[in-house]
Structure 1
Amino acid sequence: MPVPHARPIILTVAERRRLTALAHSHTAAYQQVIRARIVCDAARGHSNAAIARRHEVTVDTVRRWRGRFADEGLPGLADRSRPGRPPRFTAVQVAEVKALACQLPAETGTPLSKWTCPDLAAEAVGRGIVAAISASTIRRILADDTIKPWQHQSWIFIRDPRFAVKAGRVLGLYARTFDGVGLGDDEYVISSDEKTSIQARCRCHPTLPPGVARMMRVNHEYQRKGALAYLAAYDVHQARVFGHCSPKTGIGPFMTLAEQVMAQEPYASAKRVFWVVDNGSSHRGLAAADRLTKRFPNAVMVHTPVHASWTNQIEIYFSIIQRKVLTPNDFTSLDQVEDRLTAFEQRYNATARPFRWKFTPADLEDLMARIERHEQKEQNPQQPAGCDHQPAPLALAA
């Protein structure tokens, strides 16, 4: 009876290079590494039995991958496609589950504010969509379309009738223009606001630092040691922060902040210093602008639109403070809070760079155009897309 001979393997230069790299890889899948080593040894003339002993696999395994490479080359070392287990749920059932997730629970008569995967699984079974389904299966179904009904995002209508004008002026200042004219080297932009109600919460037990297999632990119980406000001004293009703490907000604390900034160079001798502020009570309206200009003739107050604090860059700095300085809140006194804020301000100024502000005046025009199209659609719900019609006036851009 003839003895079967092992399939001869002859490698090209490119195949040898790729197989050698795969055989010595530390990141590739282990099965792929073993297959590459089997083929490399076969190309050197080793027998199947010797290769099996060397890599601690069966002779059948060596014979299989040796034969596949001889027949198909490098693609033969990949796994064959497998049909897998047949799906348990039909396409219609999957679509019904996704449609259910896209409904508000209140619309279905369910006393919930938002869906969770276990709730959706129970509701799908209760409605007879499926006989049984797990929360993890619901999660996988929704992940196919990135539907996350357990999350929510808040939003607000634009209410300021001069939103486009006000926002355009602020965004222009960030781009170093004012009313279409470029700013000079002796003109500066200051973004300012107040962060109110910063509490000092003295924990009833000391905070424990992180350790092996343990995160930082902060005691839930605390004693309130009072609250203060942090007023800050941020030079948009120089990335400098000026701030001070006050027991409360108001005209006096804000003017103290203005004095803190405007008394220093280069702002004291600057041609113009633009102060970007929101519509808080301490700097609202023309009276606040006149008060600032009367005290500092080279200061120009520029208001953001109503309910548009996102256009004020100082809010970015306040978010940094909240994450890095005030959370978790564990302070024994208000003096400790003030000292921490002052020390962080100095630390930040030592390495700060201007924020990469990405919302430009061009983006504002696109936003207003989308709002205008939305208003036109609401006013003419039966108007076919692409029909010629007179555009409705846009009050927001007035």
Structure 2
Amino acid sequence: MAYGRKTPYQARIRAHIVLHAARGRSNARIARQTGLHVDTVRTWRGRFAEEGMSGLGDRRRCGRPPSFTALQTAQVKALACQLPAKTGTPLSRWSRPELAREATERGIAPALSASTVRRWLAQDALKPWQYRSWIFITDPCFRPRAERVLNLYARTWQGEPLGEDEYVISADERTSIQARCRCHPTLAPGQARTMRENHTYGRGGAVAYLAAYDVHQARVFGRTESRTGVDPFMHLVTQVTSQEPYASAKRVFWTVDNGSSHRGQKAADRLTSVLPNTVMVHTPVHASWLNQVEIYFSVVQRKVVSPNTFTDLAQVGDRLRAFEDRCNVKAQPFHWRFTTSDLDDLLTRLDRHTTDHQEESSVEPAT
């Protein structure tokens, strides 16, 4: 204990007192050598003599009586688990100061601080100031459509493995990338200083960015258009399929969401009529997260578009194309880990949650 690296400081000092006493030194001498008061030395020396090693620990202290009861704590936690609008409070969500104020106004406690509320909520990991959104599955064909997309990522189509001359393309469009010309130049980062950007800007217009991502080859094809629609999307398809190896491929699968540019069977038939070796595969409704090109768009948002500082739309297009070239040189395929087994687990949890929610809703409130 006296020389251990992980021994707490107080335990180390008390161990030194015992060792000095074992060498036959007086309390006054031990106090001088350790820099402690002689009463402190006498106390710990006596406790060790009476109780041994257990005497070197702190004794139980009664401490100050609690200021709040367990009932008050439970009432504040219960209040945090209610929506403010249900309680008549004109708030969208609770904060710690607002909870303390509401609890005081309701007479739960005569006075309550936000730090006390924070400690109480932390006991049960309650964070009423945070929120997440969700959406229920509305597509009746969610399971088979999602399974088709996931099987393509695993290089399988209708139970058969894809050949070497078959490719999977994930495509979508990103609307309204603005060209914001800052009224003052952006300051580069420096020592103890982040990059600084002027908030005032002039609008230079907006452009739509269409991109196609080869899932297994990690190749990106993109183009900028003044708007989205059927024609801009077909321009993207033509841009990709006019190049090798897609021009002479046996099949090229295009994974798209249900946007207006490529929605429904009509869009699939239009694509096949123009390019017979292409197959359009739709993700389920409200499940564009299954489309891998969305991951690429998130990378573009973080690394290229934000912060948004461009002199004109031409600079926007130049930077996007330069980033595509950079990705095509160094990028690797995304490590997609969501499989059909994960899909089944997700649907099972959602069914259980939906069933429990319906049962709770069907129970009549007690009068």
TM-score normalized with structure 2 length? 0.84
Q: What residue in structure 2 maps to residue 365 of structure 1?
A: 344
User: Please, which moves more after superposition, 246-255 or 211-220?
Assistant: 211-220
Change (3 A) 1:95 1:259: same
Change (3 A) 1:254 1:131: same
- Answering whether residue 148 of structure 2 is matched by residue 169 of structure 1, we say yes
Q: What residue in structure 2 maps to residue 305 of structure 1?
A: 284
Change (3 A) 1:364 1:54: same
What is the root-mean-square deviation in Å for CA atoms of aligned residues?
3.3
Q: What residue in structure 1 maps to residue 124 of structure 2?
A: 145
CA-to-partner distance for each residue in 1:224-278, whole Å, 9 max, x for gaps? 1110011111122222222121221122222222223223333233322211101
Change (3 A) 1:43 1:176: farther
Task: Note the C-alpha offset of 1:89.
Answer: 1.7
- Answering whether residue 235 of structure 2 is matched by residue 256 of structure 1, we say yes
Q: Which aligned pairs between 1:274-293 and structure 2 lie closer than 5 A?
A: 274-293=253-272
Q: What residue in structure 2 maps to residue 124 of structure 1?
A: 103
How many positions carry a matched residue from both structures? 361
Distance 1:86 1:277 in 2: 64
2:304 equivalent among 325, 333, 338: 325
Change (3 A) 1:259 1:40: farther
SS at match of 2:305: coil
1:159 equivalent among 138, 150, 154: 138
**Letter of the 1:133 counterpart:** L
User: Please, which moves more after superposition, 125-134 or 233-242?
Assistant: 233-242
Q: Which aligned pairs between 1:371-386 and structure 2 lie closer than 5 A?
A: 371-374=350-353, 376=355
CA-to-partner distance for each residue in 1:294-332, whole Å, 9 max, x for gaps? 333222110011111111111111112112222221222
User: Please, which moves more after superposition, 167-176 or 37-46?
Assistant: 37-46
8 Å CA contact 1:34–1:55 kept in 2: the answer is no
Q: What residue in structure 1 maps to residue 197 of structure 2?
A: 218
Q: What residue in structure 2 maps to residue 340 of structure 1?
A: 319
SS at match of 1:129: coil
Task: Note the C-alpha offset of 1:146.
Answer: 1.7
8 Å CA contact 1:35–1:77 kept in 2: the answer is no
User: Please, which moves more after superposition, 290-299 or 305-314?
Assistant: 290-299
Structure 1, gaps ≥5 residues long: 1-14, 23-27, 385-398
CA-to-partner distance for each residue in 1:158-215, whole Å, 9 max, x for gaps? 2222111111111221222222322233322211100110011112222233344443
Distance 1:43 1:354 in 2: 69
Distance 1:372 1:287 in 2: 32
Task: Note the C-alpha offset of 1:46.
Answer: 10
Q: What residue in structure 2 maps to residue 31 of structure 1?
A: 9
Q: What residue in structure 2 maps to residue 12 of structure 1?
A: none
8 Å CA contact 2:283–2:291 kept in 1: the answer is yes
Structure 2, gaps ≥5 residues long: none
1:239 equivalent among 204, 210, 218: 218
User: Please, which moves more after superposition, 166-175 or 85-94?
Assistant: 85-94
Change (3 A) 1:382 1:328: closer
Q: What residue in structure 1 maps to residue 66 of structure 2?
A: 87
8 Å CA contact 1:251–1:283 kept in 2: the answer is yes
8 Å CA contact 1:377–1:383 kept in 2: the answer is no
CA-to-partner distance for each residue in 1:123-171, whole Å, 9 max, x for gaps? 1011111111111221221122221111221222222221111111112
TM-score normalized with structure 1 length? 0.78
**Letter of the 1:253 counterpart:** P
- Answering whether residue 330 of structure 2 is matched by residue 351 of structure 1, we say yes
8 Å CA contact 1:200–1:331 kept in 2: the answer is yes
Q: What residue in structure 2 maps to residue 209 of structure 1?
A: 188
Aligned-residue sequence identity (percent) comes to 63
8 Å CA contact 2:17–2:30 kept in 1: the answer is no
